[in-house]
Structures are given as C-alpha cells and as structure tokens.
Amino acid sequence: MKVLILCTGNSCRSQMAHGFLQSFSSNIDVFSAGTKPAEKVNPKAVEVMKEAGIDISDHTPHNVSEYINEPWDYVITVCGGANESCPVFVGNVEHRLHIGFDDPSDAIGSDEFVMTEFRRVRDEIKNKFEQFYNDNLK
C-alpha cells in the first residue's frame, strides 16, 4: 500500500499525518509532499509529535513534483482553510481523498495558545487518520 499526503508547505499537517499513518503499520509506504515546500519541518510540529511518542525530526519537506510519475493507492490532501488552495495531483492515483485540518502555524497569540493549537490539530489528525486506516487499510 502506497500513500501520498499533500499540503502546501509540507512542514506541519502533512508531516504529522505522515508520522501517524506510518506508526499504524510498517506495511504502508507513506510519503508526504507540498506544492510549495518549506525549508524544514515546523519545529512545533516536531515537538507536539514527540509528545505523542512519534519522532518526525528526521522528516524533510518534499516537492510534489518528485512523486508525480509514481503510482499511488491513495493521495490525501490535508489543507483545510478557505484561504488556502489544496494541491491537485494529476498522477496515477487509485483513490483521492481530502481530509482537511486548520493550519496551526497560522495561530497567533501567546506561546501557550499556539502550542494548544498545534496539539489540537495533532489530535484531530491522529483521530481522522486512525479512522482512515481502520476503514481503508487495515
């Protein structure tokens, strides 16, 4: 089973989803990418995933163009806000899904509030991807 998770920057939501989905089974090949990849994974995403027992500190953002010629069982977009356009993937894909989430890196306020937003989105990603895994891949 081969799954590609797409977002714009590939620095936060797609990386967290990648980490969770990979943790559910070693029989799934999980990749993530963005249409405009950031330079690095958001450190707050790394921190809140570590709190959940998953280490994504070695993940790096990738450009979706790296994967366009590969076949995929699932391509899942995770961007959610109305102000953000989700990438369109035109490759060889068996199933396309959208599971949208708020972007915690857009949170403004105290450090405590921002971390609360990262944890909230992390938990939503875990729950929705666990449901996706149980419904489609198990």
Q: Does residue 12 have an active-site annotation?
A: no
Query: Is residue 86 annotated as a catalytic residue, yes or no?
Result: yes
Q: Which residue out of 28, 38, 52, 86 is catalytically annotated?
A: 86
DSSP state of 134: I
E strand residue ranges, 70-135: 72-79, 93-101
For the record, the structure tokens of 128 come out as 């929705």
Q: How many residues would you count in the chain?
A: 138
Catalytic member of 78, 79, 99, 125: 79
- Out of 7, 33, 45, 56, which one is annotated catalytic? 7
DSSP per-residue string spanning 7-68: ESSSSSHHHHHHHHHHHH-TTSEEEEEESS--SS--HHHHHHHHHTT---TT----BGGGGT
Active-site residue numbers? 7, 79, 86
